[in-house]
């Protein structure tokens, strides 16, 4: 049904034509609907993967479900948890152009080429990829780490230049900026209360790197973030939350603007989960305390390609 039209029935094929295929339009125009390519799955990754034990890196690998080479959490991104106990170090060396680290807990130092600085709990760090990164922990540390190696692997390319320099977003500054946004009198009229991390090298996209997008957000007590969607994948991390926080995710809205037949993702501190591109999602806080989250997406690239297509219900 979906096989290629055979261009040569009884003709000898030259070597440079062997790989050529021809498809009738309706058989190839939408490979996802035709199940020729796998959909990005829902998936949650609990804090128990990294909250105790030896130092280690835990890739949140969905490559088997994606039918691609791994590790990969999405077609173009890989997320990992890193546990680094006091006195230990780890070297990060993905074939990537963009990396974002969030320091879940702990303190220590970072070295990237000639750049070196200290990090503490709550910091964000953006890194390019030409050099290896060495993380050293002075206190037991945990990280959420996202990079774009799967994208480069699919394209069959290697990193060739750094498009930006290692950039630190100190915890105190990021938290102050978020609180400033939350305290704005107009905050309750906005679709969400958050700050987007940017980099001066990317004024067009206003994103943390040219590929990655990172948001630091609050879900206020008793609030709902109405459904929205975008063509970027979201690799969400829950920094902290009380019981009663969750997301609803689905492919369609009903006539009232609510998600039809949604999948529910209950939040817990330290949880990561995948929101597939194009899916509607809404966030709920039914408690009396704030919750904090970090979605990391490939929206830097999608924005540059003019394909992000973000919509709100």
Domains of the chain, earliest start first: 44-169 (2.60.120.10), 171-312 (2.60.120.10)
CA-based radius of gyration for the chain? 21
34 or 196, which is more confident: 196
Q: What is the pLDDT of residues 65-119, one digit of tens each?
A: 999 999 999 999 999 999 999 999 999 999 999 999 999 999 999 999 999 999 9
Q: Confidence band (pLDDT; 50, 70, 90) for 214?
A: very high
Q: Confidence band (pLDDT; 50, 70, 90) for 190?
A: confident
Q: Minimal CA–CA distance to 220: which of 245, 248, 257, 202? A: 245
**How far apart, in whole angstroms, are the C-alpha atoms of residue 247 and residue 232?**
17
| Strand partners of residue 104 | none
What pLDDT is recorded for position 134?
A: 99
What pLDDT is recorded for position 146?
A: 99
Contacts of 200 (CB under 8 A, 6+ apart): none
**Coil, helix or strand at residue 15:** helix
User: Is 11's pLDDT higher than 90?
Assistant: no
Contacts of 65 (CB under 8 A, 6+ apart): 38, 41, 43
**How far apart, in whole angstroms, are the C-alpha atoms of residue 221 and residue 245?**
9
pLDDT > 90: percent of the chain = 88
**How far apart, in whole angstroms, are the C-alpha atoms of residue 97 and residue 130?**
8
**How far apart, in whole angstroms, are the C-alpha atoms of residue 142 and residue 146?**
13
User: Is 140's pLDDT higher than 90?
Assistant: yes
Contact (CB, 8 A) for 213 and 301: no
Contacts of 182 (CB under 8 A, 6+ apart): 193, 218, 220
| Dihedral angle sign, alpha carbons of residues 202, 76, 71, 41 | positive
Contact (CB, 8 A) for 53 and 79: no
Q: What is the pLDDT of residues 32-80, one digit of tens each?
A: 888 899 999 999 999 999 999 999 999 999 999 999 999 999 999 999 9
What pLDDT is recorded for position 229?
A: 96
Task: Please tell me the number of Cα atoms within 13 Å of 215 on its side-chain side.
Answer: 18
**How far apart, in whole angstroms, are the C-alpha atoms of residue 258 and residue 252?**
8
Q: For all residues of the chain together, what is the average pLDDT?
A: 95
What pLDDT is recorded for position 119?
A: 99
Q: Confidence band (pLDDT; 50, 70, 90) for 188?
A: confident
User: Is 196's pLDDT higher than 70?
Assistant: yes
User: Is 139's pLDDT higher than 80?
Assistant: yes
User: Is 10's pLDDT higher than 70?
Assistant: no
**How far apart, in whole angstroms, are the C-alpha atoms of residue 295 and residue 196?**
10
What pLDDT is recorded for position 161?
A: 97
15-42: b (≥16 Cβ within 10 Å) or e: eeeeeeeeeeeeeeeeeeeeeeeeebee
pLDDT > 70: percent of the chain = 96
User: Is 263's pLDDT higher than 70?
Assistant: yes
Distance in angstroms between the alpha carbons of the first and the last residue of the chain: 37
Contact (CB, 8 A) for 236 and 299: no
Q: Minimal CA–CA distance to 245: which of 285, 291, 295? A: 285
């Amino acid at each position: 049904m979906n096989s290629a039209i055979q261009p040569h029935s009884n003709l000898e094929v030259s070597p440079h034509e062997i790989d050529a295929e021809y498809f009738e339009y309706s058989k190839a125009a939408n490979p996802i609907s035709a199940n020729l390519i796998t959909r990005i799955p829902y998936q949650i990754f609990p804090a128990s993967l990294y909250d105790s034990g030896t130092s280690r890196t835990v890739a949140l690998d969905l490559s088997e479900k994606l039918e691609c080479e791994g590790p990969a959490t999405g077609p173009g991104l890989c997320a990992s948890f890193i546990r680094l106990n006091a006195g230990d170090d780890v070297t990060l060396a993905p074939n990537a152009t963009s990396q974002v680290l969030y320091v879940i807990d702990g303190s220590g130092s970072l070295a990237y080429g000639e750049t070196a600085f200290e990090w503490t709990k709550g910091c964000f760090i953006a890194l390019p990829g030409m050099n290896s990164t060495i993380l050293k922990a002075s206190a037991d540390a945990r990280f959420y780490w996202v990079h774009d190696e799967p994208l480069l692997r699919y394209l069959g390319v290697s990193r060739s230049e750094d498009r930006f320099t290692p950039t630190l977003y100190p915890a105190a500054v990021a938290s102050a900026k978020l609180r400033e946004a939350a305290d704005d009198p107009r905050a309750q009229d906005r679709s969400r209360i958050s700050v987007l991390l940017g980099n001066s090298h990317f004024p067009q996209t206003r994103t943390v790197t040219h590929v990655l997008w990172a948001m630091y957000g609050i879900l206020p007590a008793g609030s709902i973030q109405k459904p929205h969607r975008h063509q970027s994948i979201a690799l969400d991390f829950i920094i902290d939350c009380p019981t009663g926080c969750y997301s609803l995710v689905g492919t369609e809205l009903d006539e009232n603007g609510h998600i039809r037949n949604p999948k529910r993702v209950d939040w817990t501190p330290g949880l990561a989960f995948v929101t597939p591109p194009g899916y509607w999602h809404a966030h709920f806080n039914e408690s009396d305390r704030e919750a904090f989250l970090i979605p990391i997406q490939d929206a830097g690239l999608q924005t540059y390609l003019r394909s992000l297509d973000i919509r709100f219900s």
